[in-house]
Structure 1
Amino acid sequence: MPEVPTAAAGVSRKRGAEPGEPPPGHEREAKKACWGILTSQGSWADRSPLHEAASQGRLLALRTLLNQGYPVNIVTIDHVTPLHEACLSGHVACVRALINAGANVNATTIDGVTPLFNSCASGSSVCVELLLQNGANPRTALAHHPSALHEACKRGSRECLESLLSRGVDPDYDVPHLGSALYISCLHKHSSCTKTLLHKGANVNRGRGEDTPLHAAVASDCEEQVSLLLDFGADVNLRNSNNLRPVELAPPGGKALQLLKAHNVSPRTLCELSRIHIRNLIGRSRLKFLQQLPLPPLLKQYLEHT
């Protein structure tokens, strides 16, 4: 097995920028920004050629290095593996090659970042599926670790979100400093993720502390989000940590304010109240069995809210 290059040697092996490519360091700086506080700067000083190949999607170079004996689970000071790099860049072929070579799909950095989290950060649902099919744990190991579910909602990746939920991830999973996944999707105005979570039975009023998803949607004047939350039974009278109701956060003259005012003067119909109550009685864990009930298709659609 070849000697693993030192940090200095690793730096000297970097290729120069080719015509039409971003300036040297551009991709690296973009990734640092993507990882935010989750990755220490030191991890970029001791990356191996295998890390570089995985990050840049160089499949042939990756396979060559693996065949030469480079450890597939080689880590930086911050425990970043080549699989972390490939997932963060969304390089499916490299992810597959690394997994086939025995990469640890549940490897964590010193900050608790997993390849699954990085796949959600890049919005690559194919990478997410590859990891899950090969034993990646869809649930966060510790409450303070970065959550793949929340990252998918933050990035607005509905496909990644659906993959995680299909593996039994709790749609109401709460991260203390972030809140619920529904709150994050509303905060970042990703209606497709909000809709998916609500259909899976996420608690429509569970947000971050006393702030509800409706507070977040109204504050950003996101009409579609507000409409979805109201349809699924959001309580317009709940107050946040500043003792404010959602209507008091709505921008003057905005569409969210109009929706809330219309809702306040027009009580929910019996049809709406019945659906909300029945879905609550069925319970989130049994919503997936609605299609199996001996009911007319129209009634099933009514209960599923489709």
Structure 2
Amino acid sequence: MAEPRGRVSDMLEAILAAGANPNAWSDEPAGKRRRHYHHYYAVLTLASVIIRGDDPRHLPLSTLLQLAIEESGVVNKGGSSSWGGLGDLHRGGRLHNVQLLLDAKADPNKASEPSPDHLPLLTALQLEDDVLVRALLLAKADPNIKRTDGGDTPLHLAVRSQLYKSCEMLLRAGTDVDAEDARGRSPLHYAGAGPMTIINSLTAFGADPLHTAPRSGETILHTFAACENAIPDTIDWIALKAPQLLSSQPPPTNLTPLHVAAKRGHFSTCLRLVDRGADLNQRGGRNLRHTAITLADKRGHHELAKALYHRKTMMCTATWSEWLRNPTIQTTIAFIAVMLWLNRALLYDLCLDIATWWYLL
């Protein structure tokens, strides 16, 4: 099947074949490029941009490769676009333009100005485009680049967006599997929402399940517990892989993963952690005052607090006073009391039996 082509693609190929600089800049202001290229004279403008080369007179400046990738994102998910751009309306045509520039030795590690974070590989991951990621990695894009804002590596972005194919490609390209972002979190910290295939890939390439953020002391399980859409499989995996993390209480918060989940009201995560051995009696917080139950209740997650309380009393780890405050136990006692009151003869016999039993002791 022939690759989608168009006027701009043909002109771009011809100009590059004539020796034009593939690392030239576009000085079109952000937000104006796509409207500008919608018109027929897009070809002439593109030619003038390439011929000008590295023109430092205008800001912001975007490399042609960056511009081609940004424009490919216009139709990344919809399949068609109402705007024109550095390519054709068919997404394949836009990818063709990216490949044309890469084949002409466009630098995949050259950032656009004024921000050093405007890098082709990071943009491709933000667009969630595995095909672009593959093309850039084959062109020797650096898999270990970091954003200046937040310290994310390409692998952090891929894991957070659940891009399994991109994760695999980055890992095979030699990315640092335990690289830390500005918060000290490794990519594995962001895998709580799954899928498990990503976690399996990370650990197969040596990701450390015991990795701890240096400043906060946050473990992988703490981050999973804080994840709103964490899936049970990931909680089970880390709890079985590193059960000692269930009781981990890094200062200064001194919160266990169960405390973290209870504080945020993550119902299913809390129950899963309890099933895996988290201690409902363990106290945390700055003054070690709160159990997961009291912390959930304090934060207004009353149904969660009731569920944890019920789970605690049913597990026979509660004190007598806690047993008596259990709604199920209270209902049972009330029912027995009413039945005995209605049958006083039975109540008399029961009291007599209790007195006899007590005397014999």
| TM-score between both structures, scaled by the size of structure 2 | 0.59
Match of 1:254 among 298, 303, 312: 303
CA–CA distance in 2 between the matches of 1:61 and 1:207? 52
For residue 85 of structure 1, report the CA deviation from its aligned partner: 1.4
Aligned to 1:205: 247
Match of 1:140 among 174, 179, 185: 179
Aligned to 1:68: 104
Q: Which amino acid aligns with 1:198?
A: A
Aligned to 1:107: 145
Aligned to 1:52: 67
**1:195-226: CA deviation from partner (whole Å, max 9, x where unpaired):** 23223225112355311111122233333212
- 1:54–1:83 Cα contact (<8 Å) kept: no
Alignment of 1:270-285 (within 5 A): none
Gaps of 5+ in 1: 20-43, 269-306
Alignment of 1:34-49 (within 5 A): 45-49=60-64
- 1:223–1:256 Cα contact (<8 Å) kept: no
- 1:120–1:160 Cα contact (<8 Å) kept: yes
SS in 1 for 2:142: coil
* Residue 2, structure 1, aligned to residue 21, structure 2: yes
- 1:171–1:197 Cα contact (<8 Å) kept: yes
SS in 2 for 1:71: coil
Aligned to 2:290: 244
CA–CA distance in 1 between the matches of 2:176 and 2:148? 17
- 1:105–1:131 Cα contact (<8 Å) kept: yes
Shift of the 266–109 alpha-carbon distance from structure 1 to 2, 3 Å rule, reads closer
- 1:206–1:213 Cα contact (<8 Å) kept: yes
Shift of the 89–197 alpha-carbon distance from structure 1 to 2, 3 Å rule, reads farther
Q: CA RMSD in A?
A: 3.1
CA–CA distance in 2 between the matches of 1:87 and 1:130? 12
Aligned to 2:262: 218
CA–CA distance in 2 between the matches of 1:264 and 1:93? 54
**Structure with greater Cα Rg:** 2
- 2:68–2:98 Cα contact (<8 Å) kept: yes
| TM-score between both structures, scaled by the size of structure 1 | 0.68
Q: Which amino acid aligns with 2:308?
A: L
Aligned to 2:231: 191
Gaps of 5+ in 2: 1-19, 39-58, 77-93, 318-361
Shift of the 47–212 alpha-carbon distance from structure 1 to 2, 3 Å rule, reads farther
Aligned to 1:93: 131
**1:101-152: CA deviation from partner (whole Å, max 9, x where unpaired):** 1111112233432111111232211100111112111111577555322233
Q: Which amino acid aligns with 1:250?
A: A
CA–CA distance in 1 between the matches of 2:186 and 2:161? 14
For residue 11 of structure 1, report the CA deviation from its aligned partner: 4.4
- 2:180–2:187 Cα contact (<8 Å) kept: no
CA–CA distance in 2 between the matches of 1:200 and 1:9? 52
Shift of the 211–97 alpha-carbon distance from structure 1 to 2, 3 Å rule, reads same
Q: Which amino acid aligns with 2:212?
A: D
Shift of the 212–241 alpha-carbon distance from structure 1 to 2, 3 Å rule, reads same
**1:16-40: CA deviation from partner (whole Å, max 9, x where unpaired):** 3999xxxxxxxxxxxxxxxxxxxxx
**1:212-270: CA deviation from partner (whole Å, max 9, x where unpaired):** 111122233333212221122212223222421111012364144323333245247xx
CA–CA distance in 1 between the matches of 2:69 and 2:175? 19
Q: Which amino acid aligns with 2:21?
A: P
Match of 2:273 among 225, 229, 241: 229
Shift of the 85–68 alpha-carbon distance from structure 1 to 2, 3 Å rule, reads same
The percent identity for this pair of structures is: 23
For residue 92 of structure 1, report the CA deviation from its aligned partner: 0.6
